[in-house]
Each structure stands twice: as structure tokens, then as C-alpha cells.
Amino acid sequence: MKISRYKRYDKKSGLWIASSKPIFGYWFRFLKHAAEDRPNDVDWSAYEDWGGKDYILRTNQTDWWKSKWKTLFGYKEGETTPLYPLSTTKPQPDGIRFALMVYKIKKENEANGVDISNWEIAKEIVRREQPRRNARGTADPSFDPSKWQFNIARTMVEKRMMKENPVEFRKKKRTLQSHISQYMRAAENHLDNVCEGRFP
């Protein structure tokens, strides 16, 4: 696909999509969560062109995308909107991705009877994400794996800061915990929207 900052062009089909592919994948995944967690709230009439409830629930994201992206999100040059437009022209992929991750981690723990704290959620995100960041840093020397908001939740960083500057550590910890709350609120908002056929 040909890439601009917010749009993508598929030469083979001659179609554009309004944002990067992952954004639409997040829509699909939030819809799946809504179907599981809010089964009475989803307006499935808004998703008839997606294949409907049964299709969504039994289909994985890859197969859904291959089958549906042209119809749902593709549009020709000069056309104003696709069949399913996004609610904003500049969605923030990282923010949506972390909102989804926070929601999933909390949901997984609740399913096991665990009331997980915001700090523990942050540490779990580090556990899942840091290896990927480290690998990227190895491949690209210009990329610093430590430069992200969750770095404070790394065990080695926590121990070092608690020793060197505990006041600063507690301040940054509170800030990150607040961000986790914001991501959870964003996730709930995304669920509200997908129940109505909108995203993000």
C-alpha cells in the first residue's frame, strides 16, 4: 500500500482507506469485546455489511479484513467517504492500542478473580511490550527502547529510582497510574461507540 500519514492506498484495487490498517483492526477487536461483555448493547443492525453478529463472532481479524476491507472502508480517489467512515480524520493508533491492552489485561485478571491495580497493569504492559521494543532497538540503533511512558514500571528502573530518588519515582508512578485510568476510560468510550456502529 502507498502510505501517507493518515491514509493508505492499495495499488492493486485502486482503493484508499482513511487510516492505517491497525485502526480498523482495533475497531473489529473492540466490537468483539462489546459482543462478549455488552451483548445487549450492540446494535447489530449497524454491522450488517460486516457480515452480522454470527459472522463477526466466528471470524478472526485476518479473515475478516481480507474479506471485507474493500467494501467497508475502501474508497476511490475523489470520493468523500467510505461505507464505514471513522469518527475522526486523525485517530491515534498508540492511544487506542494501549486502551485496548489495558482493557484486556483488566478483563483477563477479573476472569480469574483478580482485582488488578493500575500499577500492576502498567507492569504487565511492560512485560508484554519491552521485548518487542528491545528487539527494535537492536535492529535500529536510533530507536531508544527506554523512551516511553511505561519505562518507569520496569523492575530495574523502579529499583534504581527507589534507591536514587524515591520522591521522583513516586511522582512518576502516580502519573503513570493516572494514565492507566485514562486508557481504561478511553476503552469504555470505544466500547460505547462500537455498540452504536462508530469508531473510535
pLDDT in tens, 59-79: 999 999 999 999 999 999 887
* Residues 65 and 84 grouped into a single domain: yes
Amino acid identity at 133: R
Q: Which of 89, 106, 133 represents a domain boundary (last residue)?
A: 89
Residue 77 lies in a domain: yes
Shared domain check, 101 and 55: no
134 and 161, same domain (yes or no): yes
Q: Domain total for the chain?
A: 2
Same domain, 17 and 59: yes
In a domain, 26, yes or no: yes
State how far the Cα of 18 lies from the Cα of 104, in Å rounded to an integer: 26
Note whether 23 and 77 are same-domain residues. yes
Mark whether 101 and 184 lie in a shared domain. yes
Q: Does some domain include residue 44? A: yes
Q: Which of 68, 89, 110 is the last residue of a domain?
A: 89
CB 75 within 8 A of CB 16: yes
Predicted confidence (pLDDT) per residue in 34-66, tens digit: 999 999 999 999 999 999 999 999 999 999 999
Checking phi first, is residue 181 left (phi over 0); if not, alpha (psi -120 to 50) or beta? alpha
The pLDDT, as a whole number, for residue 79 is: 77
Quick one: 60 and 130 in the same domain?
Answer: no
pTM over 0.75: yes
85 and 100 part of one domain: no
Domain boundary among 39, 70, 89: 89
Q: Are residues 16 and 66 in the same domain?
A: yes
User: Residue 139 to residues 10, 64, 71, 90, 132: CA-CA distances in angstroms?
Assistant: 28, 32, 37, 29, 11
Residue 6 confidence (pLDDT): 52
Could you tell me the three cell numbers for 12?
A: 492493486
How far is 84 from 199, CA to CA, in rounded Å? 9
Is residue 114 domain-shared with residue 63, that is, in the same domain? Answer: no
80 and 140 inside one domain: no
Q: What is the mean pLDDT of the chain?
A: 94
Domain that holds residue 137: 96-188
Nearest to 44 by CA among 61, 62, 32: 32
The segments of the chain whose pLDDT lies below 70 read: 1-7
